[in-house]
Amino acid sequence: MSVLVYTESENGAFKKTAYEVASYAKGIADMLGTDVAAISFNATDAGELGTYGVSKLHNVKEAKLDKFNAGAYADAIAQAAKAEDAKVIVISSSADSKYLGSLLSVHLDAGYVSNVVALPSSADPFTVKRSVFTNKAFSNTQISTDRKLVGLSKNAYGLKENPTDCTVVDFAPSFNDDDFKVEVQSVDKATDKVTIADAEVVVSAGRGMKGPENWAMIEELADVLGAATACSKPVSDMGWRPHGEHVGQTGKPVASNLYIAIGISGAIQHLAGINSSKVKVVINTDPEAPFFKAADYGVVGDAFEVVPALIEKLKAFKAANA
């Protein structure tokens, strides 16, 4: 019996979420007095999994699974959970893991709780805290099934080192035709850009930018900070920016370390999407903008003056701290 964790990888290398869920799973394993086993698809080695407490990696080597496939991944993870007799399975709350989570939950008859933000407050009854109402509240939720599936929110637990020897074993689950019912035809992904989901820093701008032609300075600021760019809903509705950048209740959630909001008023629907970001900075001409109530740091000023000046200052800061 161990805690099983699904560790996401891309082109063979583990993503940061993999180390996060591993760290968290180790926390649960310690509560239960057991070890952490991981499952991954086409990982090229165990990476840092051992550092974060994983003692065994079941690596599925299967060319057909180079691209993410929710059906087949869920089937394989379920088989690994049974092989390990895992009572607790931990996945991320990334878009991909959420996609396969509900399938996995049915395969395993495992009660599933997503968007979990902390270690269980109790192992028996198994009780976890998850965010609800788009981060406006938390629910302490009990899972009553024998097997439990926990989806950990990004950036909620952090990385915790627990050096362990990690052995890699090949794992060969059996697949059936149903696993491949959804077939990927093409992927369109900007590979050189930090994505909102993975970014440590997000630079976001709203209708206060007046028009799409003014986004160059937003991108430059993001560049200097190694940040992803995002926007408010009206900005994507008007087609100034792509839909995928829209942050908020009906858009993407952001859980970055730093969120810089420029020319965004801070409507409740926007704030709902960024509540779990750690440090929030607001730049707005209107001192009454609601965003100032949600922010840690604020500058009352015109974005067209503040942002270029901030870019120059940050460049100097980076050069001095390089």
Partner 1 sequence: MKILVCISHVPDTTSKINFTDDNTQFDTNGVQFVINPNDEFGLTRAMWFKEKQNASVDVVTVGGAEVEPTLRKALAIGADQAIRVDTPAVDGYAVAKELADVVKNGGYDLVIAGRESIDYNGGMVPGMVAAMTGSSFVNTCISLEIDGDTATATREIDGGKETVKASLPLVIGGQKGLVEESDLRIPNMRGIMMARKKPLDVKAPVGASTETSTVSFEKPAPKGEVTLVDADNLDKLIDLLHNEAKAI
Ligand X SMILES: Cc1cc2nc3c(=O)[nH]c(=O)nc-3n(C[C@H](O)[C@H](O)[C@H](O)COP(=O)(O)OP(=O)(O)OC[C@H]3O[C@@H](n4cnc5c(N)ncnc54)[C@H](O)[C@@H]3O)c2cc1C
Phi, psi (rounded to 5 degrees) for 140: -85, 110
Q: Are strands 122-123 and 126-132 parallel, antiparallel or unpaired?
A: antiparallel
Q: Using the rule CB under 6 A, give the single segment among 28-36, 187-195, 213-221, 243-251 that binds ligand X.
A: 243-251
Look up residue 285 and give its amino acid. T
Q: Which among 163, 129, 190, 149 has a CA at the least distance from the CA of 19? A: 163
Q: Which among 89, 93, 72, 85 has a CA at the least distance from the CA of 6? A: 89
The reply, when asked if residue 269 is annotated as ligand binding, is yes
Q: Are strands 148-152 and 9-10 parallel, antiparallel or unpaired?
A: unpaired
**Distance between CA 46 and CA 216 in Å, rounded?**
40
Binding site partner of 98, from ligand X, partner 1, none, Cβ cut-off 5-8 A by kind: partner 1
* Cβ pair 294, 266 in contact under 8 A: yes
Site for partner 1 in 216-255 (CB under 8 A): 225, 237, 243-244, 246, 249-251
Site for ligand X in 253-272 (CB under 6 A): 263-265, 267, 269-270
Site for ligand X in 300-319 (CB under 6 A): 302-304
Q: How big is the CA angle at 299 (ends 296 and 302), to the nearest 5 degrees?
A: 145
Binding-site string for partner 1 from residue 126 to residue 165, where x marks contact by CB under 8 A and - marks none = -x-x-xxxxxxxxxxxxxxx--------------------
**Distance between CA 157 and CA 315 in Å, rounded?**
31
* Cβ pair 281, 238 in contact under 8 A: no
Looking at beta carbons only, is 64 or 193 nearer to partner 1?
193
How many residues interact with partner 1 (rule CB under 8 A)? 93
Q: Tell the smallest beta-carbon distance from residue 319 to partner 1 (Å).
A: 12
The reply, when asked if residue 140 is annotated as ligand binding, is no
- Under the criterion CB under 8 A, does residue 296 sit at the interface with partner 1? yes
Q: Using the rule CB under 8 A, give the single segment among 28-36, 37-45, 51-59, 312-320 that binds partner 1.
A: 312-320
Taking CB under 6 A as the criterion, the residue among 206, 255, 260, 310 binding ligand X is 206
- Under the criterion CB under 8 A, does residue 103 sit at the interface with partner 1? yes
**Distance between CA 47 and CA 55 in Å, rounded?**
12
Taking CB under 6 A as the criterion, the residue among 161, 286, 296, 312 binding ligand X is 286
Instruction: Tell me the binding residues for FAD.
Output: 207, 263-270, 284
